[in-house]
């Protein structure tokens, strides 16, 4: 019996053991880019890097943060390159000395506000947070013009957002609006029975099925549906859209710095950036077209909440308090 058990255990381990040894030419990329984006770019990657095996771990920004933090706590870091949308987390990593200093020469043209001041990370693409509504379920004259409008009690039971605790872009939006409108704004949202749950896809689903006909949601999520669900319409809020930064950075503990840098360069190259646009995000590099169905980037930039260094550092340092305060308002 004893032998039987031991061999069973061994069998379990052996059969499950994939190639345990990390190969020199393997690059681990943790990303919150959507899976189809990864799938679409893979052939080009294979062509450019025939000798390299790319290992993509795909999850939400906050999952990636948790996984990478745990790896860093354990002292055994597997990740080489990270791409995700919680810029404040990268600020914290930079401060903690966990990132490799690198800005791709191909990213030279992007605005300074889209890079780390120390040169540790840069913006790969820009998802944009807008308002969206289901035109079958709400009257034209009821439509909000700004984010701020939604605090009005006439939007009771009509509005939904994502969960700032679960989604990086939703957290950024929450932080930005809190910065400008204070906590009263969120108290009013709460009084309006605003549902703030899940990621952007959950928000869109609630708009589609009418549980809440208006929501804040990423433009890319709406544009993916532009041919399939004609009921969905976008509002570019007059007080500003919230531009999010999809950040790319290299872990300091990468054993493969050269390869990681080449990968970052590739992502800033023509193929990489065109894929970002194809996935309905804006490219930070001037000269790339806007995503299909989206307005010009200049329009978005002109009408967006500003990213200041002061905002960035204050949110980086108060991230925990912000999330806690938000939870307190929404739940208690």
Site for another protein in 20-59 (CB under 8 A): 20, 34-36, 39, 55-59
64 or 285: CB nearest another protein: 64
**Rg of the chain over all Cα atoms, to the nearest angstrom:** 21
Q: Which spans in the chain are helix H?
A: 2-16, 35-48, 61-74, 87-95, 168-191, 200-209, 219-223, 257-268, 270-278, 297-302, 309-331
For residues 182 and 125, what is the distance between their CA atoms, to the nearest angstrom? 28
String of contacts with another protein for each residue 89-108, x by CB under 8 A:
x--x---x------------
Q: How far is the CB of 287 from another protein (least distance, A)?
A: 26
Query: Candidates 11-19, 117-125, 238-246, 262-270 — which segment interacts with another protein by CB under 8 A?
Result: 11-19
For residues 155 and 161, what is the distance between their CA atoms, to the nearest angstrom? 13
Closest by alpha carbon to 84, among 31, 123, 137? 31
Closest by alpha carbon to 87, among 38, 124, 34? 124
8 or 289: CB nearest another protein: 8
Phi-psi group of 119: left, alpha or beta (phi > 0 → left; psi -120 to 50 → alpha; rest → beta): left
Q: How far is the CB of 225 from another protein (least distance, A)?
A: 8
Contact 170, 326 (CB under 8 A): no
Closest by alpha carbon to 224, among 31, 35, 56, 29? 35
- The token duo for 78 is 């597997």
- The token duo for 2 is 């004893």
Q: How far is the CB of 293 from another protein (least distance, A)?
A: 15
86 or 149: CB nearest another protein: 86
61 or 283: CB nearest another protein: 61
Near another protein by CB under 8 A: residue from 23, 25, 146, 327: 327
Near another protein by CB under 8 A: residue from 7, 25, 146, 157: 157
Considering only residues 192 through 231, tell me which ones interact with another protein, judged by CB under 8 A: 193, 195-199, 201-202, 204-205, 208-212, 220-221, 224-225, 228-229, 231
Contact 314, 307 (CB under 8 A): no
55 or 148: CB nearest another protein: 55
Considering only residues 158 through 197, tell me which ones interact with another protein, judged by CB under 8 A: 163, 165-166, 190, 193, 195-197
For residues 192 and 187, what is the distance between their CA atoms, to the nearest angstrom? 9
Q: How far is the CB of 229 from another protein (least distance, A)?
A: 5
Near another protein by CB under 8 A: residue from 3, 50, 74, 153: 74
Near another protein by CB under 8 A: residue from 50, 51, 73, 112: 73
The percent helix, strand, coil of the chain (3-state, each to 5) is 45, 15, 35
- Is 87 among the residues that bind another protein (CB under 8 A)? no
Q: How far is the CB of 300 from another protein (least distance, A)?
A: 20
Considering only residues 230 through 259, tell me which ones interact with another protein, judged by CB under 8 A: 231
């Amino acid at each position: 019996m004893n032998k039987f058990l031991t061999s069973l255990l061994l069998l379990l381990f052996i059969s499950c053991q994939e190639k345990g040894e990390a190969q020199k030419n393997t690059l681990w990329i943790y990303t919150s880019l959507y899976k189809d984006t990864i799938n679409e770019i893979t052939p080009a990657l294979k062509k450019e890097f025939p000798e390299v095996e790319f290992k993509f771990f795909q999850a939400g920004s906050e999952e990636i943060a948790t996984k990478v933090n745990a790896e860093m706590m354990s002292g055994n870091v597997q990740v080489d390159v990270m791409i995700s949308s919680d810029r404040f987390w990268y600020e914290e990593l930079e401060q903690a000395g966990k990132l490799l200093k690198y800005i791709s020469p191909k990213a030279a043209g992007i605005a300074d506000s889209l890079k780390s001041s120390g040169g540790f990370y840069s913006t790969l693409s820009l998802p944009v947070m807008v308002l969206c509504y289901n035109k079958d379920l709400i009257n034209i004259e009821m439509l909000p013009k700004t984010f701020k409008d939604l605090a009005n009690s006439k939007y009771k039971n009509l509005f939904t957002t994502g969960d700032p605790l679960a989604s990086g872009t939703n957290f950024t939006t929450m932080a930005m609006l809190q910065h400008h409108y204070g906590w009263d704004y969120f108290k009013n949202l709460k009084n309006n029975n605003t549902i703030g749950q899940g990621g952007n896809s959950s928000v869109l689903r609630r708009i589609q099925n009418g549980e809440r006909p208006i929501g804040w949601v990423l433009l890319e999520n709406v544009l993916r549906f532009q041919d399939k669900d004609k009921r969905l319409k976008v509002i570019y809020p007059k007080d500003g859209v919230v531009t999010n930064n999809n950040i790319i950075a290299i872990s300091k503990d990468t054993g493969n710095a050269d390869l990681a840098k080449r990968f970052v360069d590739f992502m800033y190259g023509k193929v990489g950036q065109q894929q970002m646009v194809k996935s309905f995000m804006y490219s930070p590099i001037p000269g790339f077209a806007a995503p299909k169905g989206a307005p010009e980037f200049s329009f978005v930039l002109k009408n967006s909440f500003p990213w200041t260094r002061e905002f960035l550092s204050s949110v980086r340092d108060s991230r925990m308090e912000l999330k806690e305060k938000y939870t307190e308002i929404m739940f208690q």
